[in-house]
Chains A and B, each alone.
Chain A
Amino acid sequence: MHHTSEFEPQILAFCCHYCAYAAADLAGTFRAQYPTNVRIIRVPCSGKVDPMHIMQAFEHGADGVLVAGCLEGGCHFLEGNLRAKRRVSLLRQILDEIGIKSDRLRMVNLSSAMGQTFANTVTEFTEQIRELGPSPITNNIPRGKLR
Protein backbone atom coordinates (compact mmCIF):
# COMPACT_ATOMS: atom_id res chain seq x y z
CA MET A 1 0.00 0.00 0.00
CA HIS A 2 2.78 2.33 1.04
CA HIS A 3 4.59 1.49 -2.16
CA THR A 4 1.54 2.23 -4.30
CA SER A 5 0.96 5.62 -2.77
CA GLU A 6 4.58 6.60 -3.43
CA PHE A 7 4.52 5.67 -7.08
CA GLU A 8 3.67 8.54 -9.40
CA PRO A 9 3.07 7.13 -12.87
CA GLN A 10 4.51 8.89 -15.88
CA ILE A 11 1.83 8.99 -18.52
CA LEU A 12 2.03 10.31 -22.02
CA ALA A 13 -1.13 11.45 -23.80
CA PHE A 14 -1.11 12.02 -27.53
CA CYS A 15 -3.99 14.45 -27.91
CA CYS A 16 -5.61 15.42 -31.15
CA HIS A 17 -5.57 19.18 -31.65
CA TYR A 18 -9.24 19.32 -32.62
CA CYS A 19 -10.76 17.46 -29.70
CA ALA A 20 -8.80 16.04 -26.77
CA TYR A 21 -6.31 18.90 -26.72
CA ALA A 22 -9.13 21.43 -26.78
CA ALA A 23 -10.95 19.39 -24.13
CA ALA A 24 -7.85 19.47 -21.92
CA ASP A 25 -7.73 23.22 -22.43
CA LEU A 26 -11.37 23.52 -21.49
CA ALA A 27 -10.83 21.38 -18.40
CA GLY A 28 -8.13 23.87 -17.42
CA THR A 29 -10.42 26.83 -18.04
CA PHE A 30 -13.07 25.65 -15.62
CA ARG A 31 -10.40 24.32 -13.29
CA ALA A 32 -11.39 20.68 -13.33
CA GLN A 33 -9.00 18.71 -11.18
CA TYR A 34 -6.99 15.93 -12.74
CA PRO A 35 -3.67 14.32 -11.87
CA THR A 36 -0.49 16.04 -12.98
CA ASN A 37 1.03 12.74 -14.07
CA VAL A 38 0.00 13.24 -17.66
CA ARG A 39 2.26 14.91 -20.20
CA ILE A 40 0.26 16.02 -23.17
CA ILE A 41 1.67 15.90 -26.67
CA ARG A 42 -0.47 17.76 -29.16
CA VAL A 43 -0.83 16.09 -32.54
CA PRO A 44 -2.73 17.33 -35.59
CA CYS A 45 -4.85 14.14 -35.57
CA SER A 46 -4.78 10.91 -33.57
CA GLY A 47 -4.13 9.24 -36.93
CA LYS A 48 -0.81 11.08 -37.05
CA VAL A 49 0.53 9.14 -34.06
CA ASP A 50 3.14 6.80 -35.48
CA PRO A 51 3.21 3.38 -33.77
CA MET A 52 6.95 3.91 -33.39
CA HIS A 53 6.30 6.97 -31.17
CA ILE A 54 4.27 4.80 -28.85
CA MET A 55 6.93 2.07 -28.81
CA GLN A 56 9.55 4.68 -28.03
CA ALA A 57 7.46 6.09 -25.21
CA PHE A 58 7.36 2.66 -23.60
CA GLU A 59 10.99 1.92 -24.31
CA HIS A 60 11.97 5.17 -22.61
CA GLY A 61 10.02 4.27 -19.52
CA ALA A 62 6.46 5.60 -19.86
CA ASP A 63 4.14 3.80 -17.42
CA GLY A 64 1.10 4.41 -19.58
CA VAL A 65 0.18 5.93 -22.91
CA LEU A 66 -3.14 7.46 -23.95
CA VAL A 67 -4.09 8.16 -27.52
CA ALA A 68 -6.99 10.61 -27.55
CA GLY A 69 -8.89 11.28 -30.74
CA CYS A 70 -12.24 12.67 -31.78
CA LEU A 71 -15.52 10.84 -31.34
CA GLU A 72 -16.03 8.21 -34.00
CA GLY A 73 -17.52 9.92 -37.03
CA GLY A 74 -16.18 13.26 -35.86
CA CYS A 75 -12.58 13.12 -37.09
CA HIS A 76 -11.46 16.33 -38.74
CA PHE A 77 -9.66 14.19 -41.30
CA LEU A 78 -12.56 11.73 -41.60
CA GLU A 79 -10.87 8.50 -40.57
CA GLY A 80 -7.70 9.35 -38.67
CA ASN A 81 -9.19 8.29 -35.34
CA LEU A 82 -10.39 4.97 -36.75
CA ARG A 83 -6.91 4.25 -38.06
CA ALA A 84 -5.44 5.21 -34.71
CA LYS A 85 -7.84 2.77 -33.04
CA ARG A 86 -6.67 -0.11 -35.24
CA ARG A 87 -3.02 0.76 -34.72
CA VAL A 88 -3.53 0.93 -30.98
CA SER A 89 -5.12 -2.48 -31.03
CA LEU A 90 -2.15 -4.00 -32.92
CA LEU A 91 0.26 -2.28 -30.55
CA ARG A 92 -1.60 -3.66 -27.55
CA GLN A 93 -1.04 -7.12 -28.98
CA ILE A 94 2.68 -6.41 -29.51
CA LEU A 95 2.98 -5.04 -25.95
CA ASP A 96 1.53 -8.29 -24.64
CA GLU A 97 4.05 -10.27 -26.67
CA ILE A 98 6.85 -8.15 -25.23
CA GLY A 99 5.57 -8.76 -21.71
CA ILE A 100 4.12 -5.30 -21.01
CA LYS A 101 0.46 -5.32 -19.93
CA SER A 102 -1.60 -4.03 -22.83
CA ASP A 103 -3.78 -2.08 -20.37
CA ARG A 104 -0.95 0.42 -20.24
CA LEU A 105 -2.00 1.65 -23.67
CA ARG A 106 -5.46 2.99 -24.27
CA MET A 107 -7.34 4.80 -27.02
CA VAL A 108 -10.08 7.22 -25.98
CA ASN A 109 -12.51 9.32 -27.99
CA LEU A 110 -13.62 12.79 -26.98
CA SER A 111 -15.05 15.96 -28.40
CA SER A 112 -13.63 19.42 -27.75
CA ALA A 113 -16.59 20.18 -25.47
CA MET A 114 -15.85 17.27 -23.14
CA GLY A 115 -13.53 18.98 -20.67
CA GLN A 116 -14.93 17.13 -17.68
CA THR A 117 -14.78 13.80 -19.48
CA PHE A 118 -11.15 14.49 -20.29
CA ALA A 119 -10.40 15.16 -16.62
CA ASN A 120 -12.29 12.03 -15.55
CA THR A 121 -10.61 9.82 -18.16
CA VAL A 122 -7.16 10.99 -17.20
CA THR A 123 -7.93 10.51 -13.51
CA GLU A 124 -9.27 7.05 -14.05
CA PHE A 125 -6.41 6.01 -16.35
CA THR A 126 -3.84 7.35 -13.89
CA GLU A 127 -5.44 5.29 -11.14
CA GLN A 128 -5.39 2.19 -13.31
CA ILE A 129 -1.70 2.68 -14.07
CA ARG A 130 -1.01 3.34 -10.40
CA GLU A 131 -2.61 -0.02 -9.65
CA LEU A 132 -0.48 -1.72 -12.31
CA GLY A 133 2.63 -0.22 -10.76
CA PRO A 134 5.74 1.08 -12.49
CA SER A 135 6.40 -0.11 -16.01
CA PRO A 136 8.51 -3.27 -15.96
CA ILE A 137 10.74 -1.48 -18.46
CA THR A 138 11.57 1.30 -16.00
CA ASN A 139 12.32 -1.30 -13.37
CA ASN A 140 14.80 -2.95 -15.65
CA ILE A 141 16.47 0.07 -17.20
CA PRO A 142 20.06 0.18 -15.96
CA ARG A 143 20.75 3.11 -13.63
CA GLY A 144 21.38 6.43 -15.33
CA LYS A 145 19.87 5.30 -18.61
CA LEU A 146 16.30 6.44 -18.01
CA ARG A 147 15.41 9.26 -20.33
Chain B
Amino acid sequence: MIVATRKNVRELKQLLAPYQRIAVLGCGTCVTVCLAGGEREAGMMASALRMASRLDGVEKDIRDLTIERQCDDAFIDEAWKSLDEADAILSLACGAGVQALAHRFPGKPVFPGVDTQFIGILEEQGIWAEKCIACGHCRIGSYGAICPVTRCAKHILNGPCGGSHDGKCEVNPDTDCAWQLIYDRLKAIGEEYRMEEIAPLADWSLSNEGGCRKIIREDQRI
Protein backbone atom coordinates (compact mmCIF):
# COMPACT_ATOMS: atom_id res chain seq x y z
CA MET B 1 0.00 0.00 0.00
CA ILE B 2 0.92 3.64 -0.18
CA VAL B 3 1.98 4.93 3.20
CA ALA B 4 1.52 8.54 4.25
CA THR B 5 1.89 10.55 7.44
CA ARG B 6 -0.16 13.39 8.85
CA LYS B 7 0.78 17.00 8.29
CA ASN B 8 1.10 19.63 10.97
CA VAL B 9 -2.11 21.56 11.63
CA ARG B 10 -0.23 24.86 11.46
CA GLU B 11 1.09 24.14 7.97
CA LEU B 12 -2.38 23.29 6.71
CA LYS B 13 -4.01 26.27 8.38
CA GLN B 14 -1.59 28.52 6.56
CA LEU B 15 -2.14 26.80 3.20
CA LEU B 16 -5.89 27.20 3.59
CA ALA B 17 -5.85 30.73 4.97
CA PRO B 18 -7.50 32.38 1.93
CA TYR B 19 -10.47 29.99 1.83
CA GLN B 20 -13.71 30.10 3.77
CA ARG B 21 -15.51 26.94 2.81
CA ILE B 22 -13.23 23.93 2.87
CA ALA B 23 -13.89 20.27 2.16
CA VAL B 24 -11.53 17.91 3.98
CA LEU B 25 -11.65 14.75 1.91
CA GLY B 26 -10.53 11.42 3.35
CA CYS B 27 -9.69 8.41 1.20
CA GLY B 28 -10.95 4.95 2.12
CA THR B 29 -8.08 2.94 0.69
CA CYS B 30 -4.30 3.01 1.48
CA VAL B 31 -4.31 6.07 3.74
CA THR B 32 -7.15 4.58 5.77
CA VAL B 33 -5.14 1.44 6.39
CA CYS B 34 -2.03 3.42 7.37
CA LEU B 35 -4.15 5.65 9.62
CA ALA B 36 -3.14 8.91 7.99
CA GLY B 37 -6.05 10.02 5.83
CA GLY B 38 -9.16 7.93 6.37
CA GLU B 39 -12.56 8.89 7.71
CA ARG B 40 -11.35 9.27 11.28
CA GLU B 41 -8.33 11.36 10.35
CA ALA B 42 -10.44 13.56 8.08
CA GLY B 43 -12.83 14.18 10.99
CA MET B 44 -9.96 14.97 13.32
CA MET B 45 -8.26 17.29 10.85
CA ALA B 46 -11.49 19.16 10.07
CA SER B 47 -12.07 19.66 13.79
CA ALA B 48 -8.46 20.76 14.37
CA LEU B 49 -8.63 23.25 11.50
CA ARG B 50 -11.95 24.68 12.69
CA MET B 51 -10.45 25.25 16.12
CA ALA B 52 -7.19 26.65 14.78
CA SER B 53 -9.05 29.16 12.58
CA ARG B 54 -11.35 30.11 15.40
CA LEU B 55 -8.33 30.99 17.51
CA ASP B 56 -7.39 33.42 14.77
CA GLY B 57 -10.86 34.91 15.08
CA VAL B 58 -12.10 33.39 11.83
CA GLU B 59 -15.16 31.15 11.76
CA LYS B 60 -14.79 28.82 8.78
CA ASP B 61 -17.08 26.28 7.22
CA ILE B 62 -14.85 23.21 7.25
CA ARG B 63 -16.52 19.85 6.64
CA ASP B 64 -15.13 16.41 6.18
CA LEU B 65 -16.23 13.57 4.03
CA THR B 66 -14.58 10.39 2.87
CA ILE B 67 -14.83 8.48 -0.37
CA GLU B 68 -13.71 4.97 -1.17
CA ARG B 69 -10.85 5.91 -3.47
CA GLN B 70 -9.66 9.35 -4.56
CA CYS B 71 -7.44 8.18 -7.39
CA ASP B 72 -10.50 7.07 -9.34
CA ASP B 73 -12.96 9.38 -11.07
CA ALA B 74 -15.87 7.03 -10.51
CA PHE B 75 -15.55 7.49 -6.76
CA ILE B 76 -14.90 11.22 -6.95
CA ASP B 77 -18.26 11.51 -8.72
CA GLU B 78 -20.05 10.32 -5.56
CA ALA B 79 -18.85 13.36 -3.69
CA TRP B 80 -18.85 15.76 -6.64
CA LYS B 81 -21.61 18.02 -5.36
CA SER B 82 -20.20 18.66 -1.86
CA LEU B 83 -16.73 19.11 -3.29
CA ASP B 84 -17.92 21.50 -5.95
CA GLU B 85 -19.59 23.69 -3.32
CA ALA B 86 -16.32 24.17 -1.43
CA ASP B 87 -13.90 27.03 -2.09
CA ALA B 88 -10.98 24.64 -1.67
CA ILE B 89 -10.39 20.95 -1.11
CA LEU B 90 -7.93 19.49 1.36
CA SER B 91 -7.23 15.96 0.20
CA LEU B 92 -5.96 13.44 2.73
CA ALA B 93 -5.15 10.95 -0.04
CA CYS B 94 -1.72 10.16 -1.45
CA GLY B 95 -0.25 12.48 -4.08
CA ALA B 96 -2.06 10.57 -6.83
CA GLY B 97 -5.43 11.21 -5.18
CA VAL B 98 -4.66 14.90 -4.73
CA GLN B 99 -3.78 15.21 -8.41
CA ALA B 100 -6.81 13.23 -9.53
CA LEU B 101 -8.97 15.77 -7.72
CA ALA B 102 -7.13 18.72 -9.22
CA HIS B 103 -7.72 17.17 -12.63
CA ARG B 104 -11.41 16.67 -11.91
CA PHE B 105 -11.90 20.24 -10.58
CA PRO B 106 -9.88 22.40 -12.97
CA GLY B 107 -11.03 25.68 -11.40
CA LYS B 108 -10.66 24.77 -7.76
CA PRO B 109 -7.67 24.92 -5.42
CA VAL B 110 -6.75 21.46 -4.10
CA PHE B 111 -4.18 20.93 -1.35
CA PRO B 112 -2.39 17.87 0.01
CA GLY B 113 -3.34 17.10 3.60
CA VAL B 114 -0.78 14.34 4.21
CA ASP B 115 2.84 13.68 3.32
CA THR B 116 2.98 10.68 0.98
CA GLN B 117 5.97 8.62 2.04
CA PHE B 118 6.36 5.34 0.18
CA ILE B 119 5.04 2.03 -1.06
CA GLY B 120 5.35 -0.26 1.91
CA ILE B 121 3.81 -2.57 4.42
CA LEU B 122 2.79 -2.60 8.05
CA GLU B 123 5.63 -4.48 9.72
CA GLU B 124 4.09 -4.47 13.17
CA GLN B 125 1.35 -2.40 14.76
CA GLY B 126 2.45 1.21 14.40
CA ILE B 127 5.51 0.48 12.23
CA TRP B 128 5.49 0.89 8.46
CA ALA B 129 8.43 0.16 6.21
CA GLU B 130 9.27 1.00 2.60
CA LYS B 131 9.51 -2.01 0.31
CA CYS B 132 9.40 -0.84 -3.31
CA ILE B 133 10.25 2.32 -5.23
CA ALA B 134 8.38 1.20 -8.37
CA CYS B 135 11.52 1.03 -10.51
CA GLY B 136 9.68 -0.26 -13.57
CA HIS B 137 11.53 -3.55 -13.94
CA CYS B 138 11.05 -5.83 -11.00
CA ARG B 139 14.09 -8.04 -10.51
CA ILE B 140 13.55 -9.36 -7.00
CA GLY B 141 13.12 -12.87 -8.35
CA SER B 142 16.91 -12.97 -8.31
CA TYR B 143 17.10 -11.76 -4.74
CA GLY B 144 14.81 -14.04 -2.82
CA ALA B 145 11.99 -11.52 -3.09
CA ILE B 146 13.86 -8.87 -1.14
CA CYS B 147 14.38 -5.62 -2.98
CA PRO B 148 17.93 -4.24 -3.00
CA VAL B 149 16.87 -1.24 -5.07
CA THR B 150 14.65 -0.07 -2.24
CA ARG B 151 16.18 -1.56 0.84
CA CYS B 152 19.93 -1.27 0.28
CA ALA B 153 21.10 2.26 1.04
CA LYS B 154 23.42 2.12 -1.98
CA HIS B 155 20.85 0.42 -4.21
CA ILE B 156 23.49 -2.08 -5.29
CA LEU B 157 22.35 -4.98 -7.43
CA ASN B 158 25.54 -6.96 -6.87
CA GLY B 159 26.07 -6.82 -3.17
CA PRO B 160 26.79 -6.68 -0.40
CA CYS B 161 29.07 -3.70 -0.12
CA GLY B 162 32.03 -3.94 2.25
CA GLY B 163 30.18 -2.22 5.07
CA SER B 164 27.63 -4.83 6.06
CA HIS B 165 28.19 -5.44 9.77
CA ASP B 166 26.44 -7.95 12.04
CA GLY B 167 23.50 -7.94 9.68
CA LYS B 168 23.14 -4.17 9.86
CA CYS B 169 23.74 -1.53 7.21
CA GLU B 170 26.78 0.70 7.57
CA VAL B 171 24.77 3.72 6.48
CA ASN B 172 22.34 3.28 9.34
CA PRO B 173 23.00 0.72 12.07
CA ASP B 174 19.28 0.65 12.90
CA THR B 175 18.51 -0.77 9.48
CA ASP B 176 18.94 -4.36 8.44
CA CYS B 177 21.48 -4.83 5.64
CA ALA B 178 19.33 -5.72 2.64
CA TRP B 179 22.04 -7.98 1.35
CA GLN B 180 22.21 -9.91 4.61
CA LEU B 181 18.46 -10.42 4.30
CA ILE B 182 18.86 -11.49 0.67
CA TYR B 183 21.56 -13.99 1.62
CA ASP B 184 19.57 -15.42 4.54
CA ARG B 185 16.49 -15.75 2.43
CA LEU B 186 18.25 -17.32 -0.56
CA LYS B 187 19.78 -19.82 1.85
CA ALA B 188 16.38 -20.58 3.38
CA ILE B 189 14.89 -21.34 -0.04
CA GLY B 190 17.91 -23.27 -1.25
CA GLU B 191 18.94 -20.73 -3.90
CA GLU B 192 22.28 -19.55 -2.52
CA TYR B 193 23.79 -20.02 -5.98
CA ARG B 194 22.05 -16.82 -7.01
CA MET B 195 24.56 -14.88 -4.89
CA GLU B 196 27.12 -15.67 -7.58
CA GLU B 197 25.05 -14.47 -10.50
CA ILE B 198 26.13 -11.10 -11.80
CA ALA B 199 23.31 -8.67 -12.40
CA PRO B 200 23.82 -6.72 -15.62
CA LEU B 201 23.62 -2.95 -15.80
CA ALA B 202 20.11 -1.82 -15.00
CA ASP B 203 18.08 0.38 -17.29
CA TRP B 204 17.01 3.18 -14.97
CA SER B 205 15.21 4.95 -17.79
CA LEU B 206 12.36 2.58 -17.00
CA SER B 207 12.10 4.11 -13.56
CA ASN B 208 10.97 7.61 -12.70
CA GLU B 209 14.55 8.70 -13.46
CA GLY B 210 13.50 8.48 -17.09
CA GLY B 211 10.72 10.97 -16.51
CA CYS B 212 7.06 10.55 -15.67
CA ARG B 213 5.77 7.18 -16.85
CA LYS B 214 2.60 6.26 -18.60
CA ILE B 215 1.21 2.86 -19.46
CA ILE B 216 -0.85 2.46 -22.60
CA ARG B 217 -2.53 -0.88 -23.18
CA GLU B 218 -4.18 -1.14 -26.56
CA ASP B 219 -6.10 -4.24 -25.46
CA GLN B 220 -7.82 -2.17 -22.80
CA ARG B 221 -8.61 0.91 -24.86
CA ILE B 222 -12.06 1.55 -26.20
A94 to B40, CA, bound (A): 14
Whether A44 sits at the interface, judged by CB under 8 Å, is no
Within 8 A of B (CB), among A55-88: 55-56, 58-59
Given A58-B51, A99-B52, A136-B55; A52-B43 close (CB under 8 Å): yes
Task: State A50–B43 Cα separation when bound (angstroms).
Answer: 12
B48 interface residue per 8 A CB criterion? yes
A53 to chain B, nearest CB (A): 11
Asked if A99 meets B55 with Cβ closer than 8 Å, knowing A59-B50, A94-B9, the reply is yes
The answer to whether B55 and A137 have CB atoms under 8 Å apart is yes
Which of A98, A140, A141, A142 is in CB contact (< 8 Å) with B48?
Answer: A98
A133 within 8 A of B: no
Interface centre among B9, B51, B52 (most CB of A within 10 A): B51
Q: In chain A, what residue has the closest Cβ to B43?
A: A52
Q: By the criterion of a CB under 8 Å from any partner CB, how many residues of chain A are at the interface? A: 17
A98 touches B9 (CB 8 A): yes
The A-contacting residues of B in range 1-35, CB under 8 angstroms, are 8-10
B61 CB to nearest A CB, Å: 13
Query: Quick one: which of B8, B9, B47 contacts A56, CB cutoff 8 A?
Result: B47
Size class of the B contact interface (CB-based, 8 Å) = 10 to 19
Q: Chain B's interface: helix, strand, loop or mixed, by majority?
A: helix
Contact A98 B43 (CB under 8 A): no
Does A97 interact with chain B (Cβ within 8 Å)? yes
Chain B stretch 179-202: residues in CB contact (< 8 A) with chain A: none
Please report whether the interface of chain A is mostly helix, strand, loop or mixed according to DSSP.
helix
CA distance A99 to B59 in the complex (A): 15
Tell me which residues across on chain B come within 8 A of A28, comparing CB atoms.
Answer: none
A98 touches B52 (CB 8 A): yes
Encoded as 1 (CB less than 8 Å from any A CB) or 0, chain B from 107 to 141 comes to 00000000000000000000000000000000000
Binary interface encoding of chain B residues 51-66 relative to chain A, with 1 for a CB under 8 A from any of its CBs, else 0: 1101101010000000
Give the contacting residue for A59; candidates B9, B47, B57, B59; CB below 8 A.
B47
A137's partner among B10, B40, B43, B54 (CB-CB below 8 A) is B54
A97 to B48, Cβ gap below 8 A? Answer: yes
Residues of A close to B59: CB separation below 8 A: 142
- What residues of A have a CB within 8 angstroms of the CB of B10 in the complex? 97
CA distance A51 to B50 in the complex (A): 16
A100 at the interface (CB under 8 A from B): yes
Cβ of A59 and Cβ of B44 under 8 Å apart?
Answer: no
Q: Which residues on the A side are within 8 Å of B57 (C-beta)? A: 140
**What residues of A have a CB within 8 angstroms of the CB of B48 in the complex?**
55, 94, 97-98
Q: How far is the CB of A100 from chain B (nearest CB, A)?
A: 7
Bound together, the chains give a CA A58 to CA B54 distance in angstroms of 12
Task: Give A11 to B164 CA distance when docked, in angstroms.
Answer: 55
A142 to B58, CA, bound (A): 10
Closest 8 CB pairs of A and B: A97-B9, A55-B47, A99-B55, A140-B54, A98-B52, A98-B51, A98-B48, A59-B47
13 interchain pairs, CB-CB under 8 A? A51-B40, A55-B47, A55-B48, A55-B51, A56-B47, A94-B44, A97-B8, A98-B52, A99-B55, A100-B55, A136-B55, A137-B51, A140-B57
Known contacts A55-B47, A97-B10; can you find 8 more A-B pairs with CB under 8 A? A50-B40, A55-B51, A97-B8, A97-B48, A97-B52, A98-B51, A100-B55, A140-B54
